Structure 1
Amino acid sequence: MPDLASQTIMAFDFGTQKMGMAAGQALIESAYPLPLFPMKDGIPDWAALLNIVKTHQPHLFLVGLPLNMDDSESELSIRARKFARRLRHQTNIQTLMVDERLTTREARDELDYYQAQGRGKKLSADSIAAALLIESWYRHPAGIQP
């Protein structure tokens, strides 16, 4: 595996109807949102998703873990973990879970800012949240195994 500085990272803000995605480059600590990915009851079109993965050639996946504020897990947490395990199995790429509490709120604030400047028409809060997962990971590179 390449050293951290040369890693390409992809992050996923898991959802049952849609999933936010982002990519980033560790060398310059960048992260940028990708288009929303449609889900069918929490299940992606794996062929389409793997095609996107192939395009970005990541070295690491981050999947948001939606914990409750009291650290307990919900049904969505269990489903996000299952998605992360399947992603790792399908790609053989290291996959970590990252606490995503409050990222959606922060992402909505950022989206409001971009829209106020006329630049947020094609952005989604879910994909911005995925980019925030990457940025958070740069500051604190830890994760939880799915």
Structure 2
Amino acid sequence: MPVTPDATAVPDRCQTFVAFDVGRKRTGVATGNRLTRTATPRPTLKAEGDARWPQVAVILREWQPDALVVGVPFHPDGAEHENTALARRFARQLRGRHGLPVFEVDERYSTTEAHALGAADADAASACIILEQFLRSLP
């Protein structure tokens, strides 16, 4: 079943966020905050597997977020697929490596929407869409 955080489960102290749209070879990144409820794309990480972790660490040191958001993909009918497991594993590893709250968001159609917008970097645009969807759900 798709994961969407209960907005009441996100503490008020969580004001700044970094979001990730995880793929096998690229990971889209966006930053945003609760006050403006907007997100800004950041350069996409072009690395596979464990090679992406040093780049993630640099982003987190630079932006000092209060929490992280990971897009979790599903088929249109809500069924899981191979990339669902990839995204959930990434979210678990983020929690373990960085000790920050990690919120998973159903990201169906974010890449399709990013392409429809004509985004030059669809991965970063998808991360923005995921983060803005999350921010709009907060009280």
- The percent of aligned pairs where both chains have the same amino acid is 35
Instruction: Report the TM-score, using the length of structure 1 for normalisation.
Output: 0.81
Cα drift, residue 39 of structure 1 = 2.2
Q: Determine if the alignment matches structure 1 residue 7 to structure 2 residue 15.
A: yes
Q: Determine if the alignment matches structure 1 residue 67 to structure 2 residue 67.
A: no
Q: Distance in 2 between matches of 1:48 and 1:98?
A: 22
Q: Distance in 2 between matches of 1:2 and 1:139?
A: 15
Structure 2 unmatched ranges of 5 or more: 1-9
Conserved? CA contact 2:45–2:55, under 8 Å? no
Q: Distance in 1 between matches of 2:63 and 2:11?
A: 15
Kindly provide the CA deviation profile for residues 87-141 of structure 1, in whole angstroms up to 9, marking residues without a partner as x.
111111000110010111111122x2xxxxxxx6xx4011011011111112224
Q: Determine if the alignment matches structure 1 residue 20 to structure 2 residue 17.
A: no
Q: Distance in 2 between matches of 1:106 and 1:131?
A: 11
Q: Distance in 2 between matches of 1:11 and 1:45?
A: 14
Q: Determine if the alignment matches structure 1 residue 35 to structure 2 residue 32.
A: no
Partner amino acid, structure 1, of 2:59 = I
Cα drift, residue 31 of structure 1 = 0.5
Distance 1:69 1:2, change over 3 A: closer
Q: Distance in 2 between matches of 1:64 and 1:44?
A: 20
Runs of 4+ in 1 over 6 A off after TM superposition: none
Rg bigger for which structure? Answer: 1
Cα drift, residue 37 of structure 1 = 0.2
Structure 1 unmatched ranges of 5 or more: 113-119
The alignment's C-alpha RMSD in Å is 2.0
Partner amino acid, structure 2, of 1:140 = S
Cα drift, residue 47 of structure 1 = 2.0
Q: Determine if the alignment matches structure 1 residue 83 to structure 2 residue 80.
A: no
Q: Distance in 1 between matches of 2:61 and 2:11?
A: 17
Structure having greater relative contact order (Cα 8 Å, sep ≥ 6): 2
Partner amino acid, structure 2, of 1:48 = Q
Partner amino acid, structure 2, of 1:3 = D
Conserved? CA contact 2:38–2:135, under 8 Å? no
Cα drift, residue 2 of structure 1 = 6.7
Q: Size of the alignment, in residue pairs?
A: 130
Q: Distance in 1 between matches of 2:62 and 2:39?
A: 16
